[in-house]
């Protein structure tokens, strides 16, 4: 049997699972490809993969992984890894799995930080696995990046990812919002990024199973009605840590972009702009001190 037959069957099963959010065409096939690549120890975009002969043991292993996916379990938790901005990150249940949509935040952060002549200091708040912090640190020469999160498991995973990627310029700390930051960076931060838990507390139960059942509750909502509790806290606390002209970048769902811009303006930020991605999945709202 070739991988092609198994991949087609898995694609059909995944595409019809009610536990999975089918928000973009082609995702079911991509999931099947990633799981098969994990079994065959190759890359999901390996053009030869479909023609590979599959042993009985490999078929059984693949089918176990597909069955897990059909329950809604995210592919990254099944394989233990996620490729973000070209970096292969370790992912663990209990820590929010990074999303490709966050690459937009990295793009904006990297282009702003690279323009800076002086100290290139960035802080990724609510960093989870460290994806955004690590990608900024990998792309901006001379940068110093902090990833901070209230979850000790998240900070441990961030540190493990930094070690694996040999990114000594990216450090992690545990704490409630900016309480985690060391005093010596006060007044020197060039930019803050945050991809907060922005789901309103009553909306969590309406999320797709693959999110609601598998991502920790505290990574989805901050318990506020509108989902902007942490955004308001960052907007009010960031100014005393930013250098003059420093930036705050908030990654948020499109329906919250306008309210987020208002929060930033009310906290005294200027030049507030909302940037779209190509798919309409996310926005990055940026304000300047
Ligand atoms: C949506 S996840 C984003 C994770 C990561 N930035 C990413 O994009 O993959 C939100 C993160 O906020 C963290 N968090 C929740 N409340 C927090 C708080 N009060 N202070 C710091 N981090 C918090 C959660 O632990 C979780 O890692």
State pLDDT tens for residues 38-54.
Answer: 999 999 999 999 999 99
Nearest of 185, 176, 186, 184 to residue 155 by alpha carbon: 176
Phi/psi at 181 (nearest 5 deg)? -80, 140
Tell me whether residue 89 is in a domain: no
Residues 231 and 163 in one domain: yes
pLDDT digits (tens, 9 = 90+) for 165-197: 999 999 999 999 999 999 999 999 999 999 999
Residues 156 and 37 in one domain: no
Tell me whether residue 86 is in a domain: no
Residues 58 and 101 in one domain: no
Which whole number is the average pLDDT over 119-141? Answer: 97
Average pLDDT, the chain: 95
Task: Please tell me the pTM assigned to this model.
Answer: 0.94
Q: Measuring from atom 11 of ligand 1, which residue has the nearest CA?
A: 126
Residues 167 and 220 in one domain: yes
Phi/psi at 263 (nearest 5 deg)? -60, -45
Residues 41 and 159 in one domain: no
| Distance between CA atoms of residues 64 and 16, nearest Å | 17
**CATH code of the domain containing 43:** 1.10.8
* Structure tokens belonging to residue 212: 């609601």
In sequence order, the 6+-apart residues with CB closer than 8 A to the CB of 106 are: 85, 132, 135, 136, 139
Cα-to-centroid distance, 56 and ligand 1 (Å): 41
Q: Roughly what angle, to the nearest 10 degrees, separates helices 56-70 and 3-15?
A: 10
Cα-to-centroid distance, 35 and ligand 1 (Å): 27
Residues 25 and 135 in one domain: no
- Is pLDDT above 80 for 130? yes
| Distance between CA atoms of residues 125 and 135, nearest Å | 14
pLDDT digits (tens, 9 = 90+) for 58-114: 999 999 999 999 999 999 999 999 999 999 999 999 999 999 999 999 999 999 999
Which whole number is the average pLDDT over 224-239? Answer: 97
Cα-to-centroid distance, 129 and ligand 1 (Å): 9
| Distance between CA atoms of residues 172 and 146, nearest Å | 6
Share of the chain above pLDDT 70, in %: 100
Q: Relative to the CA of 131, which ligand 1 atom is closest?
A: 9
Residues 123 and 255 in one domain: yes
**CATH code of the domain containing 113:** 3.40.50.150
Q: How confident is the model at residue 281 (pLDDT cuts 50, 70, 90)?
A: confident
Tell me whether residue 108 is in a domain: yes
- Is pLDDT above 80 for 24? no
As to burial, measured by CB atoms within 10 angstroms (0-12 exposed, 13-18 middle, 19+ buried), residue 21 is middle
Pocket test for ligand 1, best of 93, 132, 197 (most atoms within 8 A of CB): 197
Cα-to-centroid distance, 156 and ligand 1 (Å): 14
As for how many domains the chain has, the answer is: 2
pLDDT score for 117: 87
Q: Which domain holds residue 51?
A: 3-72
Other C-beta atoms closer than 10 Å to the C-beta of 203 total: 14
Which residue matches tokens 């597909």?
66
Helix locations, the chain, DSSP H: 3-15, 27-40, 56-70, 75-79, 103-114, 131-139, 152-164, 209-212, 229-237, 257-266
Tell me how many degrees the CA angle 252-257-262 measures, rounded to the nearest 5: 120
Tell me whether residue 78 is in a domain: no
**Is residue 138 helix, strand or coil?**
helix
Residues 99 and 67 in one domain: no
Tell me whether residue 182 is in a domain: yes
Q: How confident is the model at residue 30 (pLDDT cuts 50, 70, 90)?
A: very high
Q: How confident is the model at residue 160 (pLDDT cuts 50, 70, 90)?
A: very high
Residues 38 and 180 in one domain: no
What does the DSSP assignment read for 142-201? TEEEEEEES-HHHHHHHHHHHHHTT-TTEEEEESSGGGGS-GGGTTTEEEEEE---BS-G
Ligand 1 pocket, residue 105 CB under 6 Å: no
């Amino acid at each position: 049997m070739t991988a092609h037959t198994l991949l087609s069957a898995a694609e059909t099963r995944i595409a019809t699972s009610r536990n999975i959010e089918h928000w973009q065409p082609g995702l079911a096939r991509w999931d099947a490809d990633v799981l098969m690549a994990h079994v065959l120890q190759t890359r999901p975009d390996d053009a030869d993969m479909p023609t590979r002969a599959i042993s009985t043991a490999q078929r059984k292993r693949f089918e176990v992984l597909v069955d897990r996916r059909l329950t809604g379990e995210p592919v990254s938790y099944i394989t233990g890894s996620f490729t973000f901005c070209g970096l292969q990150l370790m992912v663990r249940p209990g820590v929010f799995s990074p999303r490709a949509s966050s690459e937009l935040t990295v793009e904006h952060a990297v282009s702003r930080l690279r323009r800076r002549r002086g100290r290139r200091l960035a802080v990724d708040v609510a960093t989870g696995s460290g994806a955004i912090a690590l990608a900024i640190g990998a792309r901006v020469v001379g940068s110093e990046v902090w990833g901070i999160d209230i979850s000790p498991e998240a900070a441990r995973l961030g540190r493990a990812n930094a070690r694996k990627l040999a990114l000594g310029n990216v450090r992690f700390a545990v704490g409630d919002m900016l309480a985690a930051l060391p005093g010596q960076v006060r007044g020197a931060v060039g930019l803050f990024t945050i991809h907060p838990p922005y789901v309103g507390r009553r909306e969590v139960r309406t999320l797709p199973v693959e999110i609601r059942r598998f991502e920790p509750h505290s990574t989805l909502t901050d318990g506020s009605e509108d989902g902007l509790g942490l955004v308001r806290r960052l907007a009010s606390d960031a100014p005393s840590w930013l250098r003059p002209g420093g930036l705050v970048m908030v990654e948020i769902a499109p329906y919250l972009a306008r309210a987020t811009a208002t929060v930033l303006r009310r906290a005294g930020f200027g030049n507030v702009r909302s940037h779209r991605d190509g798919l309409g999945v996310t926005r990055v709202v940026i304000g300047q001190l």
